[in-house]
Amino acid sequence: MQSQWLKNYNLLIFNRIDSTNSEAFRIIKNNIKGNFVIVAKEQTNGKGSKGKSWKSIAGNLHMSILIQSTVSISRLKELSFLIAVVLHETIKELIIKSNAPKADIKLKWPNDVLMDGKKLAGILIESKRLDGINYVVIGIGVNTHFVPDVPNIEITSLFNERIILKDSDYFLSIFMSKFQTYYLKWTNTDSFDTIRKKWLKFAYNLNNIVILDNGARKVSGVFRGIDQDGAICIELNGGVVQSFSSGQVTFSK
């Protein structure tokens, strides 16, 4: 592993655990100070977004970053987009290093990374304020080697896309080095604008029809981007653009 980023994090590696995010919250509960990177070769109860589970296969990358953040809680939702951008850059670098064919890597709102339209990685951001300290837990799952069988979802892996890694630690090392750079810039500039522009450059199905269902309302319109809060912007009938901070989005291909 590259060691530079390790100077800023305590690295914990588990053969098997319920979930890396759950372990991060146990660290918070026990008032253990410091920033952590938690990696599990296998999870028995992996956590996905919107209360869903993340199906883990030994050999893929399952990790969480635990940070004691000085950034306002209101800005932590921006981290999902920052992580997606860093994942995108990591995958691009691995394609070059592996001499793999070029692939269409897209970022799907709000927290997925796709390759050729198939899900490759997911992101889960959770936070907790305790004793005046803001803790943020960034859960990341990447199918580096194997393809989980999840009903009704097209899924791929780096291996399936001919990006051959010795192990998931190699992905972790490149990713964390890039994350460290992006995170420091993000905290120091106090701005979402740079990350937002990078994310939009690779947004999945931008300017195409989407359907959003937030439980209270179901709308259809054209996906026009994200606003300064990371909410999805949809152009409705009549040309009115409205932002939605949450909901299940279905994209037309």
In the numeric block, the tokens 């080697």 are attached to: 145
In the predicted model, what is the mean pLDDT of residues 154-180?
93
Q: Are residues 117 and 141 in the same domain?
A: yes
Q: Are residues 69 and 187 in the same domain?
A: yes
- Domain end (from 200, 215, 233): 200
Q: Are residues 36 and 63 in the same domain?
A: yes
pLDDT exceeding 70 applies to what percent of the chain?
96
Task: Share the mean pLDDT of the chain.
Answer: 91
Q: Are residues 51 and 140 in the same domain?
A: yes
In the predicted model, what is the mean pLDDT of residues 205-222?
92
Residue 213, domain CATH: 2.30.30.100
Residues comprising the chain, all counted: 253
- Domain end (from 182, 200, 218): 200
Strands 133-142 and 209-213: unpaired
Q: Which of 53-57, 206-210, 219-223, 225-229 has the lowest mean pLDDT?
A: 53-57
CA torsion, ordered 129, 130, 135, 140, to nearest 10 deg: -90
pLDDT exceeding 90 applies to what percent of the chain?
71
**What does each C-alpha distance from 238 to 71, 207, 252 come to in angstroms?**
38, 16, 20
Q: Are residues 15 and 77 in the same domain?
A: yes
Q: Are residues 176 and 192 in the same domain?
A: yes
Q: Is the predicted pLDDT of residue 60 greater than 90, yes or no?
A: yes
Q: Are residues 157 and 223 in the same domain?
A: no
User: What is the band of 50 on the pLDDT scale with cuts at 50, 70, 90?
Assistant: low
Q: Are residues 211 and 164 in the same domain?
A: no
User: What is the band of 53 on the pLDDT scale with cuts at 50, 70, 90?
Assistant: low
Number of domains forming the structure of the chain? 2
Would you state the pLDDT for residue 153? 87
Q: Are residues 171 and 244 in the same domain?
A: no
Q: Are residues 209 and 156 in the same domain?
A: no
Q: Are residues 188 and 239 in the same domain?
A: no
Would you state the pLDDT for residue 109? 95
Residue 43, domain CATH: 3.30.930.10
Would you state the pLDDT for residue 1? 47
- Domain end (from 181, 200, 219): 200
Number of H helices, E strands in the chain: 4, 12
In the predicted model, what is the mean pLDDT of residues 85-100?
93
Q: Which of 3-7, 28-32, 59-63, 171-175 has the lowest mean pLDDT?
A: 3-7
In the predicted model, what is the mean pLDDT of residues 198-206?
96
In the predicted model, what is the mean pLDDT of residues 100-116?
93
pLDDT in tens, 131-160: 888 899 999 999 999 999 888 889 999 999
Q: Are residues 44 and 158 in the same domain?
A: yes
- Structural domain boundaries enclosing 224: 205-251
